[in-house]
């Protein structure tokens, strides 16, 4: 095994992450695309230099904002990201699922001069360019459907062998401008410097161990800060390999994990929940004897976890071998709360699943659970260099989580009012309500913006109720919202529930709607019996299609419910 030390002290700029690894692991595979094409570290470095030169020769100047988007994760996206930074530009990652007016708004806001996109997106940017006077260049990542736009291959050829000096930079210079996904409102441009992102990568290294032989499966979209930092920059900084997943389908994810000998994957809770459900279904379909053996071994393993004793690696070695996951050692979950049962399940069968916490504004990671001392309901311990505390806690220790550290953003672009709201006296106010235990582990109750206020004036955190609902095998997913009472500021607790019809059909042969209604009613009553009276669900609606999601598979919360149970976008004033 190759065990050279990470040269973290030498990192000043994001491109240093590639350069130091290319020096030490030049022939290691850095990227493996869905087509099977591979790119070594040496080749990736050469390509970023040539592409950076090609961008300069195409008129892109230091300090220019360059939009970057793609229909799927790819090596071209990552090489473009690094090339933009190498020539002194600012990367503006864009969600490929955005509508024309959303793209136009973001590109106008930052006065982007160039966009790099997939061939299939060129027409979109050419269409909206008439309303974007600053946008001069559109570059396609490939020739397919590129409508005559210059391609990355053209710029690589143009830059190859050219003697171009890139401008001197400072670590505190703006590197990436990220428009938030907007689950609860209008996106804002988060400004992150080289120092912000470098400090976060270095801090994660001090908590979680990575080796050059590790293989990461990249599945979340790269425009999302969690995937970009943890699924791209972090593995690249250690000489690891990155394999791009084919889709979000749990069966294909498992195949990708198995066929590529993947050791680590970052994801959001929904991905791990689907994998958990898949495992549970296979176990339920096995023979009575196998089910009994599994339950006994699981009981022994889960009991050990309470004392941080991880027996599952040995007890469930045959199960993991059968699933083709013998190399897999760690999942990292972020972006939303991870259900306790999911975390316990994977750790009990010998696969570390640790939950972390962060925001786009913090580059993004702030805390993570240590592998050997994992508290499943917690977001873990603050990273090295992160100060985290509870502001103005109530009598139960609950209050807003505030943080400070080198990874906290520079501010919101062109938005000093919003910046001043969250950056105060050197602290970043996260908007998340939580507490800290005697061991220093932090816990989140929910977002302050999502709080439902009862008629008695008590705060209700919808995430708590959703977590209980989602524990039911009959419920695929849920969304809890507050609905204003007439002539009052108080709200009723309303739930939207998507049943797991596949699971229900195993027990209800006729599969009629009345059976589903009865099952869900019983599950809601069971959940309410475990809640204080003021938290109980007053009304619920059954939804047959999945809940609206962001591109990172988080349930959208910028929604309200009408009297018929329909979900609508909240009106903005």
559-573 mean pLDDT: 72
**What is the structure's pLDDT at 144?**
60
- Asked if residue 413 and residue 459 are part of one domain, the reply reads no
Under a CB-based contact definition with an 8 Å cutoff, are residues 537 and 527 in contact?
yes
- Of the pLDDT bands very low, low, confident and very high (cuts 50, 70, 90), residue 488 is low
Tell me, yes or no, whether 229 lies in a domain: yes
Residue 202 covered by a domain: no
Return the pLDDT at 176: 98
Question: Which pLDDT belongs to residue 178?
Answer: 96
Assigned domain for 187 exists? no
More reliable by pLDDT, 48 or 284: 48
103 CB-side CA count, 13 A: 26
Same domain, 134 and 62: yes
Residue 519 backbone dihedrals phi, psi, to 5 degrees: -65, -45
- Is the pLDDT at 174 greater than 70, yes or no? yes
Whether the pLDDT of residue 1 is over 50: the answer is: no
> Which residue range(s) make up the domain with 57?
8-169+207-241
C-alpha separations of 518 from 426, 513, 515 in Å: 53, 9, 5
pLDDT over 70 at 146, yes or no: no
pLDDT at 514: 64
Whether 258 is in a domain gets the answer no
pLDDT at 145 over 60: no
* Residue ending a domain, choose from 399, 422, 448: 448
Average pLDDT (144-160) is: 84
* Residues 428 and 455 placed together within one structural domain of the fold: no
**What CATH number should be reported for the domain holding residue 479?**
3.30.300.30
Instruction: Average the pLDDT over each of 1-5, 453-457, 463-467, 489-493 and give the range with the smallest value.
Output: 1-5
Tens of pLDDT along 195-247? 999 999 999 999 999 999 999 999 999 999 999 999 999 999 999 999 999 99
Structure confidence at residue 446 as a pLDDT band (50, 70, 90): confident
Q: Say if 49 falls within a structural domain.
A: yes
Same domain, 444 and 457: no
- Using only C-alpha atoms, the chain has a radius of gyration, in whole angstroms, of 24
CB-based burial label for 486 (10 Å; 0-12, 13-18, 19+): exposed
Gap between the Cα atoms of 573 and 567, Å rounded? 19
Give the whole-number percent of the chain exceeding pLDDT 90. 70
27-38 pLDDT, tens per residue?
A: 999 999 999 999
Checking if the pLDDT of 54 tops 70, the result is yes
222 sits in the region (left: phi over 0; alpha: psi -120 to 50; else beta) called alpha
**Contact criterion met (CB below 8 Å) for 292 and 325:** no
Shared-domain flag, residues 423 and 455: no
On whether both 143 and 280 belong to a single domain, the answer is no
Does residue 89 share a domain with residue 100?
Answer: yes
What mean pLDDT is reported for the chain? 90
Residue that finishes a domain, picked among 448, 465, 496: 448
Confidence category of residue 507, pLDDT binned at 50, 70, 90: low
Number of domains the chain is built from: 3
3-state class of 241 per DSSP? strand
176 domain residue, yes or no = no
Contact residues for 224 (Cβ-Cβ < 8 A; gap 6+)? 181, 335, 551, 552
Which of 448, 469, 485 marks a domain boundary?
448
Verify that 464 and 432 share a domain, yes or no: no
Distance spanning both ends of the chain, measured CA to CA: 58
CB 355 within 8 A of CB 334: yes
Q: 538 and 442, same structural domain?
A: no
Is the same domain home to 319 and 237?
Answer: no
Residue 44 scores a pLDDT above 80: yes
* Same structural domain, 535 and 435: no
Task: List the one residue out of 372, 247, 348, 248 whose CA is nearest residue 299.
Answer: 348
Residue 197 in domain: no
Assess if residue 513 is contained within a domain: yes
374-424 residue pLDDT tens = 999 999 999 999 999 999 999 989 999 999 999 999 999 999 999 999 999
| Residues 555 and 420 both lie in one domain | no
Beta-carbon neighbour count of residue 570 at 10 Å? 11
CATH of the domain at 139: 3.40.50.12780
Helix, strand, coil shares, percent, the chain, to 5: 35, 25, 40
């Amino acid at each position: 095994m190759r065990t050279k030390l990470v040269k973290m002290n030498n990192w000043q700029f994001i491109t240093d992450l590639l350069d130091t690894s290319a020096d030490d692991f030049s022939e290691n595979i850095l990227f493996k695309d869905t087509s099977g094409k591979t790119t070594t570290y040496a080749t990736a470095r050469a390509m970023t230099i040539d592409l950076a030169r090609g961008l300069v020769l195409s008129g892109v100047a230091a300090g220019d904002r360059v939009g970057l988007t793609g229909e799927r994760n790819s090596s071209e996206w990552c090489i473009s990201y690094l090339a933009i930074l190498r020539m002194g530009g600012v990367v503006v990652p864009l969600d490929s699922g955005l509508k024309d007016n959303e793209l136009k708004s973001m590109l106008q806001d930052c006065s982007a001069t160039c966009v790099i996109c997939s061939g299939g997106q060129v027409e979109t940017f050419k269409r909206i360019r008439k309303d974007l006077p600053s946008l001069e260049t559109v570059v396609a990542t490939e020739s397919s459907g590129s409508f005559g736009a210059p391609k990355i291959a053209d710029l690589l050829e143009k830059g190859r062998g050219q003697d171009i000096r890139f401008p001197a930079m400072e670590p505190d210079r703006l590197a990436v401008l990220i428009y938030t996904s907007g689950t609860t409102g209008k996106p804002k441009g988060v400004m992150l410097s080289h120092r912000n992102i470098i400090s976060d990568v270095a801090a994660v290294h001090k908590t979680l161990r990575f080796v050059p032989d590790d293989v990461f499966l990249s599945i979340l979209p790269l425009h999302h800060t969690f995937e970009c930092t943890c699924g791209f920059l972090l593995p690249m900084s250690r000489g690891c390999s990155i394999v791009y997943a084919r889709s979000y389908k749990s069966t294909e994810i498992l195949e990708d994990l198995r066929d590529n000998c993947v050791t680590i994957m970052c994801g959001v809770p929904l991905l791990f929940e689907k994998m958990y459900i898949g495992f549970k279904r296979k176990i339920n379909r096995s023979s009575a004897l196998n089910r009994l053996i599994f339950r006994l071994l699981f009981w022994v393993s889960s009991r050990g976890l309470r004392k941080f004793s991880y027996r599952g690696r040995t007890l469930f070695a045959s199960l993991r071998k059968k699933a083709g996951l013998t190399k897999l050692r760690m999942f990292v979950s972020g972006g939303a709360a991870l259900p306790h049962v999911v975390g316990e399940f994977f750790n009990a069968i010998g696969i570390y699943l640790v939950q972390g916490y962060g925001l786009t504004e913090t580059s993004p990671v702030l805390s993570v659970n240590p592998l050997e001392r994992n508290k499943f309901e917690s977001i873990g311990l603050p990273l090295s260099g992160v100060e985290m505390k509870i502001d103005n806690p109530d009598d139960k220790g609950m209050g807003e989580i505030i943080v400070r550290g080198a990874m906290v953003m520079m501010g919101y672009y062109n938005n000093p009012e919003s910046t001043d709201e969250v950056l105060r006296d050197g602290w970043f106010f996260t908007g998340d309500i939580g507490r800290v235990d005697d061991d220093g582990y932090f816990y989140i109750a929910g977002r302050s913006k999502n709080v439902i206020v009862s008629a008695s004036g008590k705060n209700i955190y919808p995430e708590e109720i959703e977590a209980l609902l989602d524990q039911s095998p009959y419920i695929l997913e849920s969304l809890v919202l507050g609905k204003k009472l007439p002539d009052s500021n108080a709200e009723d607790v309303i739930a939207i529930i998507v049943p797991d019809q596949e699971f229900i059909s195993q027990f209800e042969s006729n599969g009629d709607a009345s059976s589903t209604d009865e099952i869900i009613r019983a599950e809601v009553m069971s959940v309410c019996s475990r809640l204080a009276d003021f938290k109980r669900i007053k009304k619920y609606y059954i939804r047959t299609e999945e809940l609206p999601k962001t591109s990172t598979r988080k349930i959208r919360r910028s929604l309200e419910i009408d009297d018929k149970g329909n979900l609508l976008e909240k009106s903005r004033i």
